[in-house]
C-alpha cells in the first residue's frame, strides 16, 4: 500500500489521494471496490489496485460482483487500473499451467504489466519484459473466465492452453523490476521495491495528470487504446523477453500488443497530446 501511495503522489503531487481500508478477505475486497466506485462525496476519477490473485483461486460469484462494480465505474467516467501480477505466467499456482490475475483480467480494467529497465547515464539503455532471476516476473496471458472483448478484435490474442479465446492481459506496462526499482520511505527507513505496486500507480498518476490537463476524465480508455492509441504507436512497444517461470512456458514480447507488456510503456507528453486531439471521442 505504501508504494501505491508514494509513487502516485510522486507522479501527481497535487492529486487528492484517498485510501480505502477493508478486511483482508475476498468479501472485504469486494466491499472496498464497491465503496470506492460509489463514493459520491469524494468522487474519485482514477482507482489503482495492486492486490489480486489467480482467477482459479476466486469464487466466480465474487468475480462477477466485482466486475459489475468495474462496469459501473466505467459508466461514471472512472478509470480502474490493476496490476497483472508479479509471479509470471503461472500467477503463483503450481499446477504447471498458465494463469492470469484477477481483477486485472476484467475487461473493464486497464491492466498494467511490468518491464525491466537498464539505464545508461540519464537515458534508458534497454527495456525488456520483467522476468528476474529472483522469481519476480510480470503476469500476463489469456483469461479463462472473461471472453475476448470486441475492442481486442484486431490484436493477436491467442487461445489459452485449453483452447479458450479470452480477454488478453495486460493492456500497458511500466517499470516493475526491483532493480532499479522504486525508492520509498516507510517507518523511518528508505526501501527500494518493485512489482505492480510501482508500475500501476505510476500509470494511475499519469492518467490523473492527463485528466487535469485535458479538463475531463479519461474514464474507460480500453477501447480507444486498442483501436487508436496502440496501433498508432503512441506507446513505446516492448519487443524482448517473456514471462515464463518455474519451467512453464510463458508468453513472449513482440511488435504490437503482446501478453507480457500489452501495447507498451508511456511517453507522457505523447499520450497527453493524443488525448487532447481525440477530445470527447476518448470518453
In this structure, is residue 257 part of a structural domain? yes
d(CA 160, CA 226): 20
126 three-state secondary structure: strand
Number of domains in the chain: 1
pLDDT digits (tens, 9 = 90+) for 23-61: 988 889 999 999 999 999 999 999 999 999 999 999 999
In this structure, is residue 230 part of a structural domain? yes
Residues in the chain: 283
Between 135 and 209, the more confident residue is 209
Write down the pLDDT at residue 121.
Answer: 79
d(CA 170, CA 190): 30
Write down the pLDDT at residue 278.
Answer: 86
**pTM of the entire predicted model:** 0.94
In this structure, is residue 279 part of a structural domain? no
Write down the pLDDT at residue 47.
Answer: 96
Write down the pLDDT at residue 127.
Answer: 94
* Dihedral Cα 177, 182, 186, 190, nearest 10 deg: 100
In this structure, is residue 282 part of a structural domain? no
* Dihedral Cα 77, 79, 80, 82, nearest 10 deg: 170
pLDDT digits (tens, 9 = 90+) for 227-276: 999 999 999 999 999 999 999 999 999 999 999 999 999 999 999 999 99
For the chain, give the percent of residues with pLDDT over 90.
Answer: 75
Asked if 145 contacts 105 with a C-beta cutoff of 8 angstroms, the reply is yes
Which CATH number belongs to the domain containing residue 79 in this structure? 3.40.50.200
Which of 23, 164, 156, 151 has its CA nearest to residue 100? 164
Write down the pLDDT at residue 267.
Answer: 93
Q: Could you tell me the residue range of the domain that residue 56 belongs to?
A: 2-274
Write down the pLDDT at residue 282.
Answer: 52
Cα angle at 25 between 101 and 106, to 5 degrees? 30
For residue 265 the three cell numbers come to: 510503456
Asked if 279 contacts 190 with a C-beta cutoff of 8 angstroms, the reply is no
In this structure, is residue 283 part of a structural domain? no
- DSSP-assigned states of every residue in 5-69: HHHHHHHSTTS--------SSHHHHHHHHHHHHT-TTT--SEEEE---EEGGGS-HHHHHHHHHH
Mean pLDDT of the chain: 91
Cα angle at 222 between 78 and 138, to 5 degrees? 100
Confidence of residue 161 (pLDDT cuts 50, 70, 90): low
In this structure, is residue 281 part of a structural domain? no
Across the range 60-66, mean pLDDT stands at 94
Between 163 and 255, the more confident residue is 255
In this structure, is residue 31 part of a structural domain? yes
Radius of gyration from C-alpha coordinates of the chain? 17
In this structure, is residue 280 part of a structural domain? no
Write down the pLDDT at residue 25.
Answer: 87
Write down the pLDDT at residue 113.
Answer: 98
* Dihedral Cα 91, 166, 27, 68, nearest 10 deg: 150
For residue 78 the three cell numbers come to: 472512472
Amino acid at each position: 500500500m505504501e508504494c501505491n501511495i508514494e509513487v502516485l503522489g510522486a507522479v501527481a503531487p497535487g492529486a487528492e489521494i484517498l485510501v480505502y481500508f477493508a478486511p483482508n478477505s475476498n468479501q472485504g475486497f469486494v466491499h472496498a471496490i464497491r465503496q470506492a466506485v460509489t463514493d459520491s462525496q469524494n468522487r474519485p476519477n482514477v482507482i489503482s489496485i495492486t492486490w489480486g490473485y489467480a482467477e482459479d483461486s476466486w469464487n466466480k460469484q465474487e468475480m462477477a460482483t466485482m466486475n459489475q462494480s468495474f462496469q459501473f465505474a466505467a459508466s461514471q467516467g472512472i478509470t480502474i487500473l490493476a496490476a497483472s501480477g508479479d509471479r509470471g505466467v503461472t500467477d503463483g499456482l503450481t499446477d504447471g499451467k498458465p494463469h492470469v490475475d484477477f481483477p486485472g483480467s476484467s475487461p473493464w480494467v486497464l491492466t498494467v504489466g511490468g518491464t525491466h529497465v537498464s539505464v545508461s547515464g540519464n537515458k534508458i539503455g534497454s527495456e525488456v519484459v520483467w522476468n528476474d532471476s529472483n522469481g519476480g516476473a510480470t503476469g500476463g496471458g489469456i483469461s479463462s473466465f472473461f471472453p475476448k472483448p470486441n475492442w481486442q478484435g484486431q490484436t493477436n490474442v491467442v487461445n489459452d492452453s485449453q483452447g479458450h479465446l479470452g480477454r488478453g492481459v495486460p493492456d500497458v506496462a511500466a517499470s516493475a523490476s526491483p532493480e532499479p526499482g522504486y525508492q520509498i520511505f516507510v517507518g523511518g527507513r528508505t526501501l527500494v521495491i518493485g512489482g505492480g505496486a510501482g508500475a500501476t500507480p505510476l500509470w494511475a498518476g499519469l492518467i490523473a495528470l492527463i485528466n487535469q490537463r485535458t479538463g475531463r476524465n479519461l474514464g474507460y480508455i480500453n477501447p480507444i487504446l486498442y483501436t487508436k492509441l496502440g496501433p498508432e504507436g503512441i506507446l513505446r512497444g516492448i519487443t524482448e523477453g517473456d514471462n515464463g517461470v518455474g519451467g512453464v512456458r510463458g508468453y513472449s514480447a513482440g511488435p504490437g500488443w503482446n501478453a507480457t507488456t500489452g501495447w507498451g510503456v508511456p511517453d507522457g507528453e505523447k499520450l497527453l497530446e493524443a488525448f487532447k486531439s481525440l477530445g470527447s471521442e476518448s470518453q
